[in-house]
Amino acid sequence: MSFMRERPINALTTEVMRRRHLRRVLQIEEQVYPRPWTHRTFISELAEMRNGSRYYMVAYVDDVMVGYAGLMFSGNDAHVTNIAVDPEWQGRGVATEMMLDLAILSHERGCEAMTLEVRHTNTAAQNLYRRFGFVPAGVRKRYYENTDDAIIMWAHGVDTEEFMERLRLIELRRPV
């Protein structure tokens, strides 16, 4: 599934992640995470897409992959498994665009809520998630490999028109 929305980043497109994308996905993964997921982990996650319990996407600007993101569906919830942007492209709205796609997909699938964990020191990501209606709901102590804590965040009402209005406002307010 690729969302055909007007995007402010010149020629940014998204598409479903496939095995052929993994070499570049792993390069980004290794740049942004101290303990990156392995090739085997991604293969396992992609296999779960067949039964509809996962969704992974990649983002391109022209022919350069600049990021990827994923969701895991559980009951009426969507769990953001990861959002990663190549460091050279961070701060340019790529994560916002991918979050918009994940949020729209979650709404379209009838999810009532979205959740995620974010490193307690990653204030830029926390601010992004707050724009989407996520609020802190707890802490997972020593969640990350280097013993960093994770903040658990939830966005409720994903299935409502109010949530979609929030997404429309995010789209309207992003830089052109």
Nearest to 25 by CA among 94, 91, 106, 86: 86
136 to each of 74, 84, 118, 142, how far by Cα in Å? 20, 20, 10, 17
Active-site hit among 48, 117, 162, 165 = 117
List Cβ neighbours of 104 (8 Å cut-off, separation of 6 or more): 3, 164, 167
Report the relative pairing of strands 113-119 and 12-16 from DSSP bridges.
unpaired
Asked if 68 is an active-site residue, the reply is: no
Active-site hit among 29, 60, 129, 143 = 129
124 to each of 95, 105, 131, how far by Cα in Å? 11, 23, 11
Asked if 112 is an active-site residue, the reply is: no
- Catalytically active residues are 117, 129
